Structure 1
Amino acid sequence: MEILKSLLHALNSVTMLDLFFVLLVMYLIYSVIFFSKGNSKEPPGPIPLPLLGNLLQLDLNRPFYTLLEFSKKYGSVFTVYFGPKKVVVLAGYRTVKDALVNHDEVFGERDALQIMQELNKGHGRKRKKDKAHISRTLSSYSLIYILGLLWTNGDTWREMRRFTLSNLRDFGMGKKVCEGKITEECLHLIELLKDYKGKPFDTSQPITFAAANMICLMVYGSRFEYDDPEFKCMVHRISKMNNLFGSTSLQAYNLYPLLFKWVANRKEVFNVAAANRKQNVALFSHLKKTLNPETCRGLVDAFLVHKKKLKESGINDSPFNNENLLMMTTNLFNAGTETTATTLRWGLLLMAKYPKIQEQVHEELRKVIGDRQVQVADRRSLPFTDAVIHETQRLVNVIPAGLPHKTSRDITFQGYLIKKGTTVYPLLTSVLHDPSEWEKPHSFHPAHFLDKEGKFVKRDAFMPFSAGRRICLAESLARMELFLFFTTLLQHFRFTPAPGVTEDELVLTVQGGLTFGPLPHKLCAVSRM
């Protein structure tokens, strides 16, 4: 009791100055211990605070901006702490390419975020259909929704990726048959934009409708009408999930799961995932009833046929099960819809902001194409237009920090020791804005992709789809979509700011999520035909 009284008396006598001094001494001691324990061969970086890491130094809405500044001070390979989590950041074209391409076997693993690791605990167990099955289904499906082709590793990931890529190619990805599907979707999009009659509209919904329908065609074998309530709900959930994962509360949960376990956005992720599951199960059921093994309509049909063949061969333990079908489908929708739609929205915004460049694109289209439908084969005859599309992708880089990787073993990389299991961020924005690779890295400058004669030139540092074994699965589909949608829209419409808004007032500020899109805005699509 006397000891307790003495302790309370001592605490009451402590002044704020004393407390500040004590905390300062503790921090200095912590810093000394931190650096003495650290390996001098490991990448350098800013001193982290206990528990907080370097969070107080980061722009939490756009952390990649801060990471770019860190790279100027600490070099192209440096360490930063996201809360208690140690992360190695790779910056600049040469460093990122060296890691993802030359050492892809080490840097090719995916590092799942905390919410995904937590949901993984219940995945794969058999569940009884009782009253409590709903909550367990939510946890199971959330894992399927978020992991899969984007987030898993190992043999299952390799087999599922190989199957998906092979069948997407069979269904025309990057080929003439796919071009026809995109062209048809372009016509539907044109009609939708004409309905606005030149009045201001938010570009997000119609553009996302078109991009989502292309995934529907590849996955289900058919498209939806834009006014279909089921389809509109599907597109809404895709956008909502993107925003949820970019929310501050869910990022806080990923860093401090014990403190932020009950945040509303985490629960909402489960709700959205459950709604997606319900819709997909219904679609799969219909496709299964109408399945013709001789004529597969889309990726789901191919999956079901392959699953049936394995079962008939006596192979029951394979990754071709209902859960992985859901996983594959939802991954493709999220990866293939948001990135393409967001890039197109940026492209239209840039055209409205830079009307002279827009008119150059239209004039090239008028001379080369005239009134006929643009084809992929026309790309070579449209160097300026192609350069504008590439420059849009380069400047806006919709996934600026890339998705997190992790090392599969210890490696000495560019003179630094990076241990096995370390989270690694290949900072794609540092590649696409590398001042040693681009003449005007932070400006919209289509000449980056043109030679002195005005011909299109490829640039090695153009990496919007990442590189190595984790390069975007549907890159060829995305490239074809961007080209055909962009050229067709610019052929039919002139995009301008809403009345009362000048070009200078159109801001290029990003809005965070899994993909980084423009702030909400409205444009006018004035018909040229």
Structure 2
Amino acid sequence: MAGVGLFSFVTMDLQTLLVLLLLFLSAVLLVYRRGRRLNLPPGPRGLPIVGNLLSLRPSKLLSNMAAWRQQYGDVYSLRALNRVIVVLYGHKAIHDALVKQPEIFSDRPPLRLMKRDPGLVMAPYGERWAERRRFALAALRQFGMGRRSAEGRIQEEGTALCSAIRSLDGAPTDISHLLGNAVSNIICSMSFGNRFEYDDEEFKRLSYAFSCLVGPNNRTMFALFRQIVMPYVRKLPMMANYREHGIKMSDYIIDFIMKSAEEHKATYDKSDIRDIIDVFLSEGSSEKSNGMNEEALGTIIRDLFIAGSETTATTLKWGLLYTALNPEVQTKVQEEINREFGSEAPPWSERGRLPYTEATIMEIQRVRPIVPLNVPHGTTCATTLYGYDIPAGTYIIPSLWSAMMDPEVTPEPETFRPERFLDDEGKVVKPEWFLPFSTGRRRCLGEQLAKMELFLFYTSLLQHFTFSLPDGAPAPPMDGSLGFVLAPTPYDVCAVPRHNP
């Protein structure tokens, strides 16, 4: 009897698998026939059933995309099982889609990775998204984005960062966690009204949760990618484990923010708005038509941390690595700071006096775009681009990497050369292909804050230290690790204190 039961179980499983396979093949056939009817952008043929899925591995993705562009042009399509993905390669294609057709190309792919409110970054395009973006921008501006109040916060944090690095006495150390702590504390002070000490246990747990969500090779982004291209596999054991881990980390962050909002209520004073949470309380915490309840506040602040902390910290990590590898550039930056400001901290309002330093920061952002493939976009309705049909609901990848690493507009793109951003008179120029914060209506809302942070942190670090790799240490691989962000391989650096005039 046991054998019969086992046989029945196996037979049932085989029957189920056969039905699923037939359904899957039918779906693939429908997509194929639909593609034949439509004039979709050209692209690599791929394999039967799986399409180009095996070519989308993170380690090969950027090089594969560059090769496909050479063969198929600036707009091409990929297939991942039943999904059609359109790639926008080069700054012109990105501009023609995201800027010239913003109502169509500003959506997001449907996301079921997280069970809670979608927040801001992954929210579908529409009125609710617009209202949330308005709230986030107003709150950031109220607490200093682009203003002197934010400058004071960043300078204070820069002092704490330099103190932590100075305590290392120039010993070879991976200081990436210190950079992450410093940048995260800016959003913490704007969101919660206070910064954390670097050894604070709660702060360490928050930092760990964020690194799990957006760090290099993170499991959550692996699950997100699989969710986008083949959502029906999300319940497979391995995918479910990745998904649950991401949910757990996201929930921890959101619950922490919601708990802080509850604590704020006890001391809230409408005449003394202290931080972003108080801005929310001043507008009323009841459910509104835009869905701005306390959970939405939690997901929006979570997104601000992701967009405003990990990206800036990772830019600084790349920046110090390229600075250490290019001592002649480091010397020019330090000499410019010494000449213009001596031992005084260069203020944001006078950054124009440091054109070479500004150009160096821009070159750091160019040579290693932090979000090289942007956050995936989606189309709200059918349209055409460059004569090709783009159906409604198409997944769009605007490759920021392609805009800034294209040898046709940036010769020798792997060469670190700040002079790209200086004219014949030594003044800073911003080419149209320079898109570190994306473009269009989904452009990074924390752009001004990030620019200020990069300038103030970088000048403070170069003013107080000279950075180099340990004696005899080879340069780490420069390809980086692609997760939500493109992060450098962990490396040790020697930060030798300078004797400023």
TM-score, length-normalised on structure 1? 0.84
**Cα offsets for 1:94-115 (capped at 9, x unmatched):** 11111111111111112244x4
Q: Report the 3-state secondary structure (helix = DSSP H, G, I; strand = E; otherwise coil) of the residue aligned with 2:205.
A: helix
Q: Supply the distance in 2 between the matched residues of 1:37 and 1:99 (Cα, whole angstroms).
A: 21
Q: Supply the distance in 1 between the matched residues of 2:186 and 2:482 (Cα, whole angstroms).
A: 24
**Cα offsets for 1:335-376 (capped at 9, x unmatched):** 111100000000000011111111111111111111011111
2:255 pairs, out of 275, 278, 283, with 278
Kindly report which structure 2 residues correspond to 1:48-127, keeping only aligned pairs within 5 A, or say none: 48-113=46-111, 115-116=112-113, 119=114
2:162 pairs, out of 185, 190, 197, with 190
1:232 aligns with 2:209: no
2:229 pairs, out of 230, 251, 255, with 255
- Asked if the contact 2:120–2:133 (Cα under 8 Å) also holds between the matched residues in 1, the reply is no
CA pair 246-271 structure 1, distance change in 2 beyond 3 A: closer
Q: Show structure 1 runs of 5+ residues with no match.
A: 1-26, 120-138
CA pair 31-220 structure 1, distance change in 2 beyond 3 A: closer
Match of 1:460 in 2: 432
Q: Supply the distance in 1 between the matched residues of 2:225 and 2:369 (Cα, whole angstroms).
A: 21
Kindly report which structure 2 residues correspond to 1:15-30, keeping only aligned pairs within 5 A, or say none: none
Q: Is 315-324 or 466-475 further displaced after alignment?
A: 315-324
1:509 aligns with 2:483: no
CA deviation after TM superposition for structure 1 residue 168, in Å: 1.1
CA pair 360-474 structure 1, distance change in 2 beyond 3 A: same
**Cα offsets for 1:412-438 (capped at 9, x unmatched):** 211111111111111111111123322
Q: Supply the distance in 1 between the matched residues of 2:429 and 2:140 (Cα, whole angstroms).
A: 28
CA deviation after TM superposition for structure 1 residue 290, in Å: 1.2
- Asked if the contact 1:59–1:65 (Cα under 8 Å) also holds between the matched residues in 2, the reply is no
1:367 pairs, out of 332, 339, 345, with 339
- Asked if the contact 2:347–2:456 (Cα under 8 Å) also holds between the matched residues in 1, the reply is yes
Q: Is 42-51 or 87-96 further displaced after alignment?
A: 42-51
Q: Supply the distance in 2 between the matched residues of 1:246 and 1:445 (Cα, whole angstroms).
A: 35
CA pair 170-277 structure 1, distance change in 2 beyond 3 A: closer
Q: Which residue identity is paired with 2:249?
A: V
Match of 2:13 in 1: none
Q: Report the 3-state secondary structure (helix = DSSP H, G, I; strand = E; otherwise coil) of the residue aligned with 1:78.
A: strand
Aligned residues: 468
Q: Report the 3-state secondary structure (helix = DSSP H, G, I; strand = E; otherwise coil) of the residue aligned with 1:468.
A: coil
CA pair 351-54 structure 1, distance change in 2 beyond 3 A: same
Match of 2:415 in 1: 443
Q: Which residue identity is paired with 2:107?
A: E
Q: Which residue identity is paired with 2:250?
A: A
Q: Supply the distance in 1 between the matched residues of 2:49 and 2:214 (Cα, whole angstroms).
A: 27
CA deviation after TM superposition for structure 1 residue 509, in Å: 2.0
Match of 1:328 in 2: 300
CA deviation after TM superposition for structure 1 residue 35, in Å: 7.0
CA deviation after TM superposition for structure 1 residue 162, in Å: 0.7
Identity within the alignment, % = 36
Match of 2:186 in 1: 214
CA deviation after TM superposition for structure 1 residue 317, in Å: 4.7
Match of 2:493 in 1: 523
Q: Supply the distance in 2 between the matched residues of 1:249 and 1:177 (Cα, whole angstroms).
A: 39
**Cα offsets for 1:36-69 (capped at 9, x unmatched):** 9513622111113333111233443241321121
TM-score, length-normalised on structure 2? 0.88
Match of 1:301 in 2: 278
Q: Report the 3-state secondary structure (helix = DSSP H, G, I; strand = E; otherwise coil) of the residue aligned with 1:202.
A: coil
Q: Supply the distance in 1 between the matched residues of 2:234 and 2:34 (Cα, whole angstroms).
A: 32
Q: Supply the distance in 2 between the matched residues of 1:149 and 1:224 (Cα, whole angstroms).
A: 25
Q: Supply the distance in 1 between the matched residues of 2:31 and 2:309 (Cα, whole angstroms).
A: 47
CA pair 320-259 structure 1, distance change in 2 beyond 3 A: closer
- Asked if the contact 1:510–1:516 (Cα under 8 Å) also holds between the matched residues in 2, the reply is yes
CA pair 43-489 structure 1, distance change in 2 beyond 3 A: same
Q: Is 33-42 or 318-327 further displaced after alignment?
A: 33-42
Q: Supply the distance in 1 between the matched residues of 2:32 and 2:224 (Cα, whole angstroms).
A: 29
Q: Show structure 2 runs of 5+ residues with no match.
A: 1-24
- Asked if the contact 1:31–1:47 (Cα under 8 Å) also holds between the matched residues in 2, the reply is no
CA deviation after TM superposition for structure 1 residue 280, in Å: 2.0
CA pair 302-150 structure 1, distance change in 2 beyond 3 A: same
CA pair 72-499 structure 1, distance change in 2 beyond 3 A: same
CA pair 37-58 structure 1, distance change in 2 beyond 3 A: closer
CA deviation after TM superposition for structure 1 residue 180, in Å: 1.1
Larger-Rg structure: 1
Q: Report the 3-state secondary structure (helix = DSSP H, G, I; strand = E; otherwise coil) of the residue aligned with 1:89.
A: strand
CA deviation after TM superposition for structure 1 residue 478, in Å: 0.2
CA RMSD of aligned residues (A): 2.2
Q: Supply the distance in 1 between the matched residues of 2:246 and 2:55 (Cα, whole angstroms).
A: 28
Q: Supply the distance in 1 between the matched residues of 2:154 and 2:498 (Cα, whole angstroms).
A: 21
Match of 1:391 in 2: 363
Q: Is 209-218 or 284-293 further displaced after alignment?
A: 284-293
CA deviation after TM superposition for structure 1 residue 253, in Å: 4.8
CA deviation after TM superposition for structure 1 residue 233, in Å: 1.1
CA pair 43-250 structure 1, distance change in 2 beyond 3 A: closer
CA deviation after TM superposition for structure 1 residue 320, in Å: 2.3
Q: Which residue identity is paired with 1:528?
A: R
2:40 pairs, out of 30, 35, 42, with 42
CA deviation after TM superposition for structure 1 residue 88, in Å: 0.7
Q: Report the 3-state secondary structure (helix = DSSP H, G, I; strand = E; otherwise coil) of the residue aligned with 1:364.
A: helix
Q: Report the 3-state secondary structure (helix = DSSP H, G, I; strand = E; otherwise coil) of the residue aligned with 1:267.
A: helix
Q: Is 380-389 or 60-69 further displaced after alignment?
A: 60-69
